[in-house]
Structure 1
Amino acid sequence: IDIKEYNSFADNTTDTFIFTIIPDNNHVIKLSSPITVTIERKDGYYFINFSGDKSDIIYKVDGFSIIPENFFTLLSGNFKADWRWAVSKETFTKEKFDSYVESVFSKIDFYKQCGVINPKNPNTAYFGDTDGRVGAVLYALLVSGHIGIRGEGWSLLCQLLKHEDMASFAYENKKLKKLFTLLDTRDMILNELHQHVFLKGDAITPCIFLGDHTGDRFSTIFGDKYILTLLNSMRNMEGNKDSRINKNVVVLAGNHEINFNGNYSARLANHKLSSGDTYDLIKTLDVCNYDSETKVLTSHHGIIRNEENECYCLGALQVPFNQMKDPIDPEELANIFNKKHKQHMDDRLIHLIRSNAIASTPVYDNYFNNTTAFRPKPEDIFKCGQTLKKSKQKYGHYGLGVDQHQKIDNYTMGLNSWKIAPNERGDKKGVPGLSCFQSH
């Protein structure tokens, strides 16, 4: 930056200020090409034009100062991420690793009621809604043995969790500007933390993430891209040719993945946190998974039967009984639901609506609304599972949540991020907390 030019702009001598950002290969994040930034003062506003990589992005803001947080926020969605992870084995003893996890996460209320996940146990671990918390996804992958953290990464993780905890308080108290500022700082910490994260090549615990991990109240484009890229690196999916790890992670789409690109609170408040799009990362996600060995049927919402309309329902999706060769086969049903979901996600309209590029249509308004509003009763989910060859259903969304006291592998288990727990007076009250379960 030419300081003289900036000072002339700052003291209103000139109305335009131009500079260029050039990629630096020493940093984790790289730009796909140099970006020219033009800032113009006009009619009491600042117009910030980012020009690079054959596209122009313009922001209109009512205040401006050159500080790192501003540019990180505005540019983060346009960075070409170089998120690659080394693969290694944990060098800590189990006792030392457990003490690190305990010391970092036990200070945060959201993790105080988590069930025990044993990374030496080959039984599947299930994780409910994480609401855009990067820390919650890192917790899940740490305790299930899929990732490790080196050196000063643990102190950076502490900082990240602290900022997400403060963001939770800001959200609950409807201080959205404070929320967005905290999430911006969280992302900057994450950018540093990434350098200390590695994948583990010996992970034996399969994991299923039940949806609403992105596009939620604590999301940013940057944070969501990191979550999805990290999880996708462990999925057995087309394009993942990494033979260094056991690809035994399943990630399902929830209503927030489907409906929202980035922070849904920011979108509803017409506040743009950062540009960019998570569509290419979420369109490969299924909405349903059936494990024939454990007879567990997983989805974000939970699946029910509608006897009156003779169909199965999952969010806004329906599968008529007569579309199935065997109307009580859970595996066939899961495949049909996933096929129908993919047809929607491949529609260019949903991409444009989701990214806020065009206004929604009445048809998609109805689809999005039904995807969110679908909250079946646990007893109806249970009955459906019994019909589907006595499948156990595990889901997130509107479930009651599970905590460390959940020992029995129930036929119906709702792993939401809000647990129903007694308060001091003995009343039932929802408290935020990560739901996770593994049978032992």
Structure 2
Amino acid sequence: MTTNQSWQQRKQQVIARGMGNLSPIYVEKAENAYVWDIEGRRYIDFASGIAVNNTGHSHPRIVNAVKAQLDRFSHTCAMVTPYPSFVELAEQLTERVPGETANKAMFVTTGAEAVENAIKVARAHTGRSGVIAFKGGFHGRTNMTMGLTGKVAPYKAGFGPFPNEIYHVPYPNAYHGISVEESLKGITDLFAADIEPTRVAAIIFEPVQGEGGFYQAPPAFAQALRQLCDQHGIVLIADEIQTGFARTGKLFASEYLGIEPDLITMAKGIAGGFPLSALVGKAEIMDAAAPGGLGGTYAGSPLACVAALEVLKIIDEEQLCDKALAIGEVMSKRLQDMQQRFADIGDIRVLGAMVAMELVVPGAGNKPNPELTKALVEAANQAGVILLSCGVRGNVIRFLPALTTDLSTINEGLDVVERCLAELVANA
């Protein structure tokens, strides 16, 4: 009999050390909110492939759509001979993004590619080169997107130098004492000391910082960014790679902010687990790149496009935005109850089914406790619940259950988390 540990040993012999894995859980099958490993153990999945499987693992409608497409063809390259699903998906997405402006779309394969192309399009449109991003932000692992990312370990350490003319300013964070005014002042200071606004092509931000710790952008901040970009002719990019496709209770988290971004990057939950990403934005801006300037061999795979079309139908017909809000309500109440019990829980942040619990050292303000965070992830995994951590300080537990998860399973998983946390605190 093969075991998780035997496969982990084999993996360590042939996979680069930098491509680590959270836990030695080797998956045999997965369905909706559950994963089974090769030893037959069942896990409640509170990670969903890092917010990819918003529609659950192996949703039968997505499986059937992809199987039907596979019977027809698997690849032609949309830049050579395109296909109807490529156009249909663009039609759907351009209609669904926030705002009334006419939009256009392009498809690539990964979230990092979507961000790279957003910067390319913004530079082509403005004729400028500078880009402003935010501390704590995460935008990918390519050279450009590492440069944009505002977190060194593990994403940037040892990989520089990065592209120039990228500038980072504080992201508003009430829990850590960074006000909207302070964040905006960071941009003003940049304009005074480092780069004039007429050389800035784009400002890129996450409506909810993902890897940075699930911190939400206040509407006043996003609206100030919109005004600033309008004033100086800067392209405003909303990175919705982790927040998109009903995760927050709306199709896109930008809808909470009362703004219309110029460009929106999408990936993760877009295609139910099939590799696909998109850049959608105002047609005038999107058309700045010359023919042949955008694309890729696997861009807009026909398998992924039909999966994404089915994802949108599932979101609508199974009311996943409402289900995300219901999951968030249950998680919020349970975590608040835990916070009353454990002084180690410093803050709880909830927007739909994008939920965070920040762990701190009791009695030490909001001093981070990354050791407890790591131990809780490991303990929960061993007890049958797949958890993820995040945060610049490594002390945030993030919950990303499939939006198709029933509430009894949510509570079952939280029972395990609470029990593991109680044991760790008692033995500390």
TM-score calculated relative to the size of structure 1 = 0.26
Structure 2 length normalisation: TM-score? 0.27
- Between structure 1 and structure 2, the one with the greater Rg is 1
More helix by share: 2
